[in-house]
């Protein structure tokens, strides 16, 4: 028997048998198609921009939507962290000794 990764294996393996040495797993991303209604003149300009950037209109839209979703997620995490820090803070605010009108000079 031949040993692969610590596991015994028969050396007389046929092509019909599963060969662990050549087994690969690939991640698969599920995607959805969307339909956009866009002005023809705008689309023409966007196609030109996409060509200049060596991509497609679809690539531009996908990149924009991905960045938008990432930004929104980061903003939510930042707000959550800010609230956590505010609650954990030992800072104390004294009594309010001013009037709203005092804040504005006329």
Q: What is the three-state SS of the chain? A: CEEECCEEECCCCCCCCCCHHHCCCCCCCCCCCCCCCCCHHHHHHHHHHHHHCCCCHHHHHHHHHHHHHHHHHHHHHHHHHHHHHHHHCCCCCCCCCCCHHHHCCC
The pLDDT profile of the chain, 106 residues, written as one tens digit per residue, is 455 555 555 555 555 555 556 566 777 788 889 999 999 999 999 999 999 999 999 999 999 999 999 998 898 999 999 999 989 998 888 888 888 888 886 5
**The pTM is what?**
0.51
Work out how many domains the chain is built from and give that number.
Answer: 1
Please give the residue range of the domain that contains residue 75: 39-87
Q: Has residue 46 been placed in a domain?
A: yes
Q: Has residue 58 been placed in a domain?
A: yes
Q: Has residue 71 been placed in a domain?
A: yes
């Amino acid at each position: 028997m031949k040993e692969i990764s610590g596991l015994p294996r028969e050396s007389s393996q046929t092509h019909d048998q599963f060969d662990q040495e050549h087994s690969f797993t690939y991640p698969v991303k599920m995607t959805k198609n969307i339909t956009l209604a866009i002005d023809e003149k705008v689309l023409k300009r966007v196609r030109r921009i996409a060509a200049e950037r060596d991509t497609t209109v679809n690539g531009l839209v996908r990149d924009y939507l991905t960045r938008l979703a990432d930004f929104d997620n980061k903003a939510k995490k930042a707000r959550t962290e800010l609230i956590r820090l505010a609650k954990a803070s030992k800072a104390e605010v004294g009594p309010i000794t001013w009037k709203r009108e005092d804040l504005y000079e006329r």
